[in-house]
Amino acid sequence: MKDGLTLDYLETIPKTDLHLHLDGSLRISTLVELAKQENIELPSQTEEGLKELVFKDTYKDLPDYLSGFAYTVSVMQNPENLERIAYELAWDNLNENVRYIEVRYAPQLHIHEKLSMQEVIEAVAKGLERAKKEFNATEAVKNGTDLPFHYGIIICALRWFNKYMSEYYRKLYSVMSYAPHHRVFAAASLELAQAGVKLRREHGLPIVALDLAGAEAGNPADDHRHAFTHAHDNFLAKTVHAGEAYGPESIFQAITDCHATRIGHGTHLFEANMVKSDRIENKQRYVDELVEYIARQRIPIEINLTSNLQTLPDMKSVAEHPLKKMIKAHIAANICTDNRLVSNTTVTNELHLAARELNLSRKEVRNLVIAGFKGAFFPDGYAAKRAYVRKAINSLNKIDADCDAANA
């Protein structure tokens, strides 16, 4: 690769991960241990067996990719396990110099008669906070030679509940079986948004945004308009999975109906052939104007290269990913992992993949990294965020200067 973009360089620089699913990012050793502890049967009792049968490098389709979540969620049904998994995730990121993360998950997949939504969110926050205090107490952080660690929590509403949904929502669904499916899911989303606003405001929990995840096909974001309007009316940030399976209209709906100020994936942003509405006569112009709007409004797009390759059969290589087009269109794209376990990846690996397969310059990689810091839903206020972004840029500048000196 050009400009000294070695794996060592990419690991050394400070990084972020803004699209990071808790239930897709466990340590596989922890999953094995907790499954034994909780008497949960796995397809294999060894890490090697699970990597062969469940958590693979390639998947045949999205259902195959999602199958592993049945096992991860099953061990995340008590506060102790949730806290441990969050704590370990923070340190996994810290160990590759990721200094800011936003951990997202659907609390409604973990609540039951013995575990409330507040307890679920508190447990995850407790694990992340413990790692933060440990790292920020190190001498390197205290003397200013290393960037402190910060985090936020994103709560995920789901476009639909599949067979892995919690027993609590199985019962809710059976009670509301007379209602159309989308009304059940919309009610659950509104409940989550209301709880998130209250827990952030009254209990000080570091909830930074509401997300909408799950299959786009047949599950439009518009169904969840009331939940996202509630978040919007109460100054909670919004990000939406969009443009992963559907096209530009899904991204537009996320921005307009759900007030999203960040987009997860956005993979089919440029696909005019995926515009379906008969009301849009000039589909290419629609796409061009949407791209320009996203660039002009500085709406970040959370890029997940490996998971896109694993879940989108038509995408045969990273070279076919639209990230390069996004860079040329001046979109604030940033690099994320999506699921560290399920996709068997790290932020460093994702940056290396992008740089190698798309022939990115060091300046382009820098911009992706800085966009991650700038696009963060930072929990401590705008002034604190600006100061933190400046520290991150200064740290990156120093590493670049050292790299240039070494290569001179």
Which is the catalytic residue, given 244, 249, 302, 364?
244
Active-site residue 33, yes or no? no
CA angle 336, 356, 307 (to 5 degrees): 35
H or E element: which one contains 286? Answer: helix 283-296
**Tokens at residue 276, please?**
């379906």
Q: Give the distance from CA 402 to its chain's centroid.
A: 31
CA pair distance 61, 65, nearest whole angstrom: 6
Are the CB atoms for 303 and 323 separated by under 8 Å? yes
Q: What share of the chain is helix, strand, coil (3-state, %, to 5)?
A: 55, 10, 35
Phi-psi label, residue 306: left if phi above 0, alpha if psi -120 to 50, beta otherwise? alpha
Are the CB atoms for 69 and 342 separated by under 8 Å? yes
CA angle 248, 257, 25 (to 5 degrees): 70
Report, as residue numbers or ranges, the catalytic residues: 244
